[in-house]
Structure 1
Amino acid sequence: MVNDDISAALGGSAIRPGDPDWDAARRFHSGIGDPALIVRASSVEDVRSAVALAAREGLEIMVRGGGHSAWGTLPGGATIDIAALDDVTLDGTRVRVGGGARWGDVARLLSSRGLGLSSGDTASVGVGGLTLGGGIGLMVRAWGLACDQLVGAQVVTAAGDVVEVDDVAQPELMWALRGGGGNFGVVTRFDFEAHPLTAVVAGELGIESDARPVLRAMRDLLPHAPRELTLTYMDVPPMDPSAPAGASIAVVWAGDDENAARAAIAPLLATPGVVPRDLGLRAYPDILLDGPEFDPDAPMPGFVGGNTLLPRLDDDAIERLAAFREANAASVLLLRSLGGAYGDVPPDVSAFPAREATWFAMAGAFDVPGLLDAAGRARALDDWQAIEARGAGVYGNFTTSTDQSWVERMYAPPTLARLAEVKRTWDPGNVFSRNHNVRPA
C-alpha cells in the first residue's frame, strides 16, 4: 500500500487502486497497468514532487507519455503520466516540445510553418519515448534519427532537481539522452532543430513477385540514392490490423521535388513485380500512421523474433529474411533503409548503436494457437537468432519485451559502460528502472 503522505502531498493528481479514476488512469495506448500509484502531472513542479516522493518511498518510476511502451504493464512502482505536458512552440527553426506531446501534434504545427523533423511512423507515439530510444523515422536518411535532431532538454532528475541540458551545459547527459532511453530522469521538454519542409513525396510500391530480387534491388539502389529518399519494405499477414496484407514498399522523399523522387526510384520500378501505387505530394503529417489502441477483448499474440541493425544486407541476409517470412504464415517482415545522415553521426555524439548499419530489419512469427506449436516456436527463434547475429545491435523501441537482457544486446560494451557512468551521476539509486535499464556503474 502506498503511503497516504504521497497522496496528500500530490493532491488530486495522485491516483491509487480503489480510487474512482483508477481504471481509466491505468489504461494506456498499449495495455492496462497495475502500478501502486499513478501521478497525473500537469506541471514540471508536479513531476518534481512525484519523483521526490516516489524515490523517498522506494517506488520504481515508469514515465508515461504516448503510452506505447510495454513497461507500463509491469506491476507495482509509480507511473508518472506526463501526457498533459504537451505544449509545442516554435522560435524560428527551434521547436520546443513538452515531454508528453505526441508526434502527430508536432508534425501538424511544423507543417503549418513549412518545417519538418524525422520522427516516428505513428501520430500517437510519444515524442519522449521515441526520441530517448533513438527514433528511426520515415526520413532517417535525410536527417538521421529523432535524437540526432535533439539540441537540448529539460530534465527532472532522481534528486528532484530541474536541469537544463545541452552539449555545453551537460555534455555527457546530452550524449546519453540521444539513444540511452529513459534511464536518467523525466524529460519534461525536448528542444529540436527542425528543417525546411514544404511537403513530401510519398506513396507505395506494390510487390507482385518473390521478395528476394526486390530486396536485392533496394539494397543496390540505396548506397547511391539521394539522402532525401528513405524506403521501407513490409510484408504482413492478413491478421495484422496496422497495414494491408501482403508485401509493399513505402516511399518517402523529404521534399517536394516529385520528378527527383521518381528518378531516384526508377531502378526499383524496373524490377519485375514492382508496381507503383499512389505516389505523389503529401503534407508531412499525412504520412504518419494511426496505430490501433489496445483492445482487452482481442490482445495481440506473442511474437517470436526481434530486430537488428545490419551493417550489410548481403544475399545471405536476404535469403534468411525471406525464408523466415515464408516459413511462418502468420509473420511479419520489415526493413528500413539507413545510411545517409544516420551514418554521419560519430559515436561520441549519441548513445545510439551501430551507425555503420545500412538497414534496420525486423522479423517475427505471431504465436497463434494452431499455427505455431513448441517446435515451430523453437525453429522460429533459432532462425531469428541466426539473423540477429549478423547485426551490430538491436533497436529497443521496436520491442514489446520487458526482458532486461535486451540492454546488453542494444549497446556495445564501451557504450554501455559509458551510460552506466552517466547513470551513476544522475540516478545512483536506479529510481528510473522501468525501461531498458542501464544500472549505475
Structure 2
Amino acid sequence: MTLEQLRTEVSGAVVTASDPEWDDARRFHSGIGEPMAVVCVSSVDDVRAAIRLARAEHQPVMVRGGGHSAWGGVPGGVTIDMSALSSITVEGDLVHIGGGATWGAVAAELAKHGLAISSGDTASVGVGGLTLGGGIGLMVRQWGLAVDQLVGAQLVTAAGDVVEVSATSHPDLFWALRGGGGNFGVVTRFDFRAHPLDGVVSATLAIEGDPRPVPRVLRDVLADAPRALTVTYSDVPAMDPNAPAGASIQAVWVGRDVDGARAALAPLIDLDGVTVAELEARDYPDILMQMPAAEPDQPMPGFVGGNTLLRMLDDEAIDKLVSFREAHPASVVLLRSLGGAYGDVAQADTPFPARDATWFAMAGAFDVPGMLDDAGRAAAQEAWDAIESHGQGSYGNFTVSTDPAWVTRMYSPDTLARLAAIKREWDPQNIFCRTHNVVPAAA
C-alpha cells in the first residue's frame, strides 16, 4: 500500500509534510513530531488500513490518544491519531470507551450516571496510554489501577485483524494489555466496570517549614486509613504551572463525607506548619488537573531522576527525597499512596510491578540551562539512584524517557520474558515499538 492508496481507503485525513494541515496534524500535547505521515482515523477499518501502510513502508506505528507521550517526538513512523474514536457508551456499570477518548471527557460523562473510574490526574490524558501502562489514579486505594477495572478490549493487531480480548478470549493477550503498554496492537475500544460515585472530598494541605515530619506522619496515617482516602505529597518549584510552589498534600476521599475525610486527615492537620487550604465536597470531574499543551518554541527541559514503587516508606527514604528537593532548586518530589485495592491484585495477574508496594515515589531535577551543569546532573542522578535503591520497578507512564533500556526497569525478568513471548505471537515484526518497547522473544 502507498500513501495515495491509503488516502482513498480511509474516511479520515492522511496528512504529510506536503499538506497545508501538516503543522497542526503533527503537533501533540507534549510537543511537535516529525512522522512520515499522520493518519486521522475515524473507524476501526481506518486503523487497519494505517497499519497496512506502516507494514508496507517498514515503518513503526505511533498511536496518539491524549498526546502526552514523549514517543510522539521520535522522528519517522506512522502516527495514528485516535482522537475521533472517542465515543463513551454506558450500559449499567459497563462502560465502552473509544481508544481516542480522554479521561476528562470520560469522567464528565460517567458523572451524569453517578459513576466513575479511577483514572489519572489530568483531564487531557488519553484513556489508551494511561490504561495500557497501568494507570495510578486519584482513587487507586479504593478501586486499584485503571487496568484493574478493565474487563475487555477491542484490538487491531499487527496483522490487521480485529480481535475481542478479555479474561476468556485471548487471556494471555488480555494479561499483557493490563500494564504491558502499547506493544501488542491498537486498542480501539476499552471496556471497564465503573463504580457508583456521587462525588469526592478534595483536600489541599499547605506545608511550611521543614517538611520532613509531614511525610512521616502521612505514612503512619495511610497505614490504617480507610480505602476511601488516597493522598499525594508533592514539593514543586515555582516554575511548575500545575501546582502551587512548595510542599503540599492533595487528598481525595471517595464520597462526600467531609467529616470522615477531615477525621482521617486530622493527624496531619494538627501538625505545626500545616494549614488547610481546601477541604470540601466536589464533583470528581472538577478535580482533574488541566495541563496546558507544550509550546513548540519552548521545548520541555530535560529531567534527571526517575520513579519507583516502594514496599515501605521508611525514614531513610523520606530523608533522601526531602534532601533531593533541597539540593536542587529546580526539582520536584512526589509521593502517591498505594495499598488497599491496589494490593488486592496478585502479582501474577497483571504485568504491573510491585503489587505489594505501599507508595509510589518520583523525584527529578529539571535540566534548565544555567541551573544544571555536568556536575549538577551527575549529583542529581547519584541522589536519585540512592532513592531508587529503596524501590522495585518503575511506572512507565511517569517518565519522559524514550531510552529503550527503561523497560528493564519496569518489569521483573520473568514478567518481561512472558511479555516478550506474547509480543512474538502478536507483533513479531515489532511495528508497535513507539512505547516502552518489549522486543519480541527469539523464535
TM-score by length of 1: 0.98
Q: 1:435 maps to which residue?
A: 435
Residue 36 of structure 1 and its aligned partner are, at CA, apart by: 0.6
CA distance in 2, matches of 1:369, 1:46: 43
How many angstroms does 1:283 deviate by? 0.1
**Aligned counterparts of 1:169 and 1:296: Cα–Cα separation in 2:** 43
CA distance change for structure 1 residues 124 and 3 in 2, over 3 Å: closer, same or farther?
Answer: closer
Q: Which amino acid aligns with 1:174?
A: F
Residue 198 of structure 1: SS of its match in structure 2?
Answer: coil
State the SS of the aligned residue for 2:242: coil
State the shift of 1:8 in Å.
4.5
Return the alpha-carbon distance in structure 2 between the equivalents of residues 282 and 6 of structure 1: 47
Q: Could you tell me which residue of structure 1 aligns to residue 369 of structure 2?
A: 369
1:316 equivalent to 2:316? Answer: yes
Post-superposition shift, 1:4? 4.0
Work out the CA distance in 2 between the residues paired with 1:296 and 1:427.
33
Classify the secondary structure of the residue corresponding to 1:438: coil
Q: Report Cα offsets for 1:138-180 as digits up to 9, x if no partner.
A: 1110000111100000000000010001001111111111100
How far the C-alpha of 1:54 sits from its partner, in A, is: 1.3
Unaligned runs of 5+ in 2: none
Find the counterpart in structure 1 of residue 189 from structure 2: 189
Q: Does 1:170 align with 2:164?
A: no
CA 1:41–1:361 in structure 2 vs 1: closer, same or farther (change >3 Å)?
same
Q: Secondary structure at the match of 2:212?
A: helix
d(CA) in 2 for partners of 1:172, 1:342: 21
CA deviation profile, 1:195-246 (whole Å, cap 9, x unmatched): 0100100120010121210010011111100000000001111111111111
Aligned residues: 441
Deviation track 1:92-122 (CA, whole Å, cap 9, x = no partner) reads 0011100000000100011111111110000
Answer with 363-372 or 375-384: which moved more: 363-372
Deviation of 1:7 after TM superposition, in Å, equals 3.9
State the partner residue of 1:420: 420
Paired amino acid for 2:315? D
Equivalent pair of 1:175/1:348 in contact (CA under 8 Å): no
Q: Distance in 2 between the 1:370 and 1:50 partners?
A: 44
* Structure 1: runs of 5+ lacking an equivalent: none
The alpha-carbon deviation at position 53 of structure 1 amounts to 2.2
Alignment deviations for residues 359-416 of structure 1 (CA, whole Å, 9 cap, x no partner): 1111111111222111111000010011112111000000111111100000000110
State how 1:60-209 maps to structure 2 within 5 Å: 60-209=60-209
CA distance in 1, matches of 2:4, 2:197: 51
Map of 2:29 onto structure 1: 29
Quote how far apart the aligned CAs of 1:51 are: 0.9
Alpha-carbon distance in structure 1 between the residues aligned to 2:184 and 2:324: 37
Check if 1:210 corresponds to 2:205. Answer: no
Give the superposition deviation at 1:258: 1.4
% identical aligned pairs: 65
**Shift, 1:15, TM fit:** 1.2
Distance in 1 between residues matched to 2:139 and 2:3, nearest whole Å? 47
Map residues 32-71 of structure 1 onto 2, 5 A cutoff.
32-71=32-71
1:287, distance to aligned residue in structure 2 (A): 0.9
How far apart are the structure 1 equivalents of 2:15 and 2:301?
A: 30
Retained in 2: the 8 A contact 1:338–1:357? yes
Query: In 2, distance between residues paired with 1:349 and 1:315?
Result: 31
Match of 1:286 in 2: 286
Q: Distance in 2 between matches of 1:339 and 1:395?
A: 15
User: Aligned-pair distance for 1:12?
Assistant: 5.7
Rounded to whole Å, the distance in 2 between the matches of 1:198 and 1:210 is: 37
Q: CA deviation at 1:10?
A: 3.8
What is the distance in 2 between the residues matched to 1:116 and 1:235? Answer: 28
Q: Deviations over 1:253-294 (max 9, x none)?
A: 011111111111111212221111120100010110000101
Partner of 1:234: 234
Partner of 2:13: 13
